[in-house]
Amino acid sequence: MIKVVVTGACGFIGSAITEKLISQGYFVEGIDNLDNNLYSKEVKEKRLSNLLNLNNFSFSNLDLAIDNLDQSIEGSSYVINEAALPGQVLSWEIFPKYVSANILAVEKLLEKCLKYKVKKVVQASTSSVCGKFAVGNEAIPTNPISPYGITKLAAENLYYALGLNSDLNFAILRYFSVYGPGQRPDMAVHKFLKLIKSKGELNITGDGTQRRDLTFISDVVDATISSMKFEESGQIFNISGGKQYSLNEIVNKCFEVVGTKANINYVKRPKGDQEETFGDNSKARLKLGFDPKVDLILGLQKQLSSMANE
């Protein structure tokens, strides 16, 4: 049975990838440090409990930056690195933790991947590396405007530096605003749906005209696994839904799906907030067979259904 290591296995995207890999017949070694930085670790522990009920899954509670990874990486054919400290706002406050989780951890992980001759490493990156306007294909300039984006771009550069000096085989995926069932509770769509359901008030940063390219979780999972199997090394792919909405439009879609409205407060935009994201995904379509299937309304309906007990 082919072994795949998924780091950040108890996160939103990592847990979904783990479930899909197991359903396809892989053995998954999950790694996560179950931290509390962005939201309660109880959310991750609940995901872990669900994963532990599956066959062909094992778990190690490890911090990639400081713990011994040999036993987990040895014998692995593939590694998918979903472990990171995400979020642009918090990165201004606890930058050293972002450096540890997003840079030091990557360097240590890649060292072990080279040691144990892993066939392919997939690195989860983000549109945030492109800066205020993440619009276009993978060749647009990278000019991050938050510490989070800076650390994720540094991780990308680590791959290329090592790739030039070794036989490291890797792919980098720049995710664009992933949403859907299991989304982190600190993320906008989850907050919107939950507050509308409970008749709370929504806080929208700025005037709501900033635009986002949203990508549904199952489409992201399919693209990530496809990139794992993609033989060519050193490629960056935009993993984006390919449709753009203003924040105000996203809120109105949430109103439509929930069937009710809520009061909106417009509040000051945080430092490092992107103005516009719109990823050209034609390269991923051509090389990975990427084909986003879930439109925004259906995706929001699926996410809302998954939140029935919240």
| Residues with active-site annotation | 148
What distance, in Å, lies between the first and last C-alpha atoms of the chain? 37
3-state SS, the chain, equals: CCEEEEECCCCHHHHHHHHHHHHCCCEEEEEECCCCCCCCHHHHHHHHHHHHCCCCEEEEECCCCCCCCHHHHCCCCEEEECCCCCCCCHHHCCHHHHHHHHHHHHHHHHHHHHHCCCCEEEEEEEHHHHCCEEEECCCCCCCCCCHHHHHHHHHHHHHHHHHHCCCCCEEEEEECCEECCCCCCCCHHHHHHHHHHCCCCEEEECCCCCEEECEEHHHHHHHHHHHHHCCCCCEEEEECCCCEEEHHHHHHHHHHHHCCCCCEEEECCCCCCCCEEEECCHHHHHHHCCCCCCCHHHHHHHHHHHCCCC
- 188, 210 contact by CB (below 8 A): no
Sign of CA dihedral 101, 102, 104, 105: positive
Residue with tokens 């972002």: 98
- 6, 59 contact by CB (below 8 A): no
